[in-house]
Homo-oligomer: A and B are copies of this chain.
Amino acid sequence: MIKRKKTKQIFVGNVPIGGNADIAVQSMCNTPTWDVEKTVNQIKELEAAGCEIIRVAVPDKKSADALKEIKQNISIPLIADIHFDYRLALAAIENGVDALRINPGNIGKEDFIRQVVEAARKKHIPIRIGVNSGSLEKEFSHLGKVDAMVASALKNVSILEKYDFDMIKISLKASDVLTTIEAYEKISEKTDYPLHVGITEAGTLKSGLIKSSIGIGALLLKGIGDTIRVSLTAPPKEEVFAAYELLKSLQLRHRGVNLISCPTCGRTKINLIELAHKVEEIVASVDKPLTIAVMGCPVNGPGEAKGADLGIAGGIGEGYIFKKGEIIKKVPEQQLLEEFKKELSSMI
């Protein structure tokens, strides 16, 4: 089991981040925020997929204005992502968001920063400092990239602390996996604020899953990370799916089915890829934490997957249903999925 670093706990709405809290799953909308209907629909879809916190971009006044109505129509906490403009931050707070992502160092005038911090404090709204390796302050350009990221985060932390504000969360994202891992390791040694972990600009679905899983996975294995976002150039619900797969693989969260399935090989006599995908569809809506196996052959399959609560092993023109390593039923291939569904229903 992974031993997590204990960080200070903050709350984004009703979701605790850090301390002993579960690692929270978040995502970001890719709808125009001012389009309330589209944005609310996407958030509801993400909620259904298990998203626990949602972030939206607030690049302009009409987006900030839309936050009020969005907030009224969703159940999960809402974070406003703001660059530079303190007026947008004030409007977002006024409109009921549960947290901000804004770097105080980018706001400009002291008086503007103070206004944002005071407004956030009054409503108990935490602020995420989101350092991105691609847009670091010039003052840190003499440092290596990792040290510059850490220095930038700490500078922003100190600005907030100057105003006695400590509802802080930090992220330090780079598109490079090694840089990201090293930056989070360093900041984790220097601060106890909770960390939002992710690889930025990780790429399209497959490459993005790979980079995010290596980077976020390596950090979680070290006990680092209080909330995660898997950034993908893909529909946001893929980000939520991936986040849970990642957390389940590391036994940090238990939600729905852990599917194990053979790679295909020359021994397989059935269409295993198709079978595994059909089983994946069937179990997608199951919330109960179960391990389900789809194996290519009845000889090794049930034994190798004896940890599985329920499994299918393919034979020639027929298949086997097994539980905890024991074959309980032999059925013709055409009835395999039906029988599997029956067994599954009886377990949930």
Distance in Å: Cβ of A180 to nearest Cβ of chain B: 10
Closest to A235 in B: B273
Complex formed: what's the CA distance from A178 to B282 in Å? Answer: 26
Main secondary structure on A side of the interface with B: mixed
Chain A 272-286 near chain B by CB (<8 Å), digits 1 or 0: 110011001000000
Q: In the bound complex, do residue A201 and residue B261 qualify as a contact, i.e. CB atoms below 8 Å apart?
A: yes
Interface size counted on chain A using CB atoms at 8 A: 82
Q: Kindly identify which residue among B209, B215, B265, B266 contacts A209, using a CB–CB cutoff of 8 Å.
A: B209
Q: What 0/1 readout, one digit per residue, does chain A (182-212) give for beta carbons within 8 Å of chain B?
A: 0000000000000000001111111111110
Q: Which of A44-52, A108-116, A238-246, A338-346 contacts B (4 or more CB under 8 A)?
A: A238-246
B-chain residues with CB within 8 Å of residue A262 when the two chains form the complex: 201, 233
Stretch of A17-25, A147-155, A299-307 at the chain-chain interface: A299-307
Is A181's CB within 8 Å of the partner chain B?
Answer: yes
**Interface positions of A from 233 to 272, Cβ below 8 Å from B:** 233-236, 238-239, 241-242, 245-246, 249-251, 259-268, 272
Stretch at the interface among A3-11, A30-38, A92-100, A121-129: A30-38
Contact, CB under 8 Å: A207 / B245: yes
Within 8 A of B (CB), among A154-193: 175-178, 181
Q: In the complex, are the beta carbons of A59 and B266 less than 8 A apart?
A: yes
Task: Pick the 5 closest A-B CB pairs, nearest first.
Answer: A134-B304, A214-B217, A57-B266, A213-B213, A30-B264
Hey, which chain B residues are within 8 Å of A15, CB to CB? Answer: none
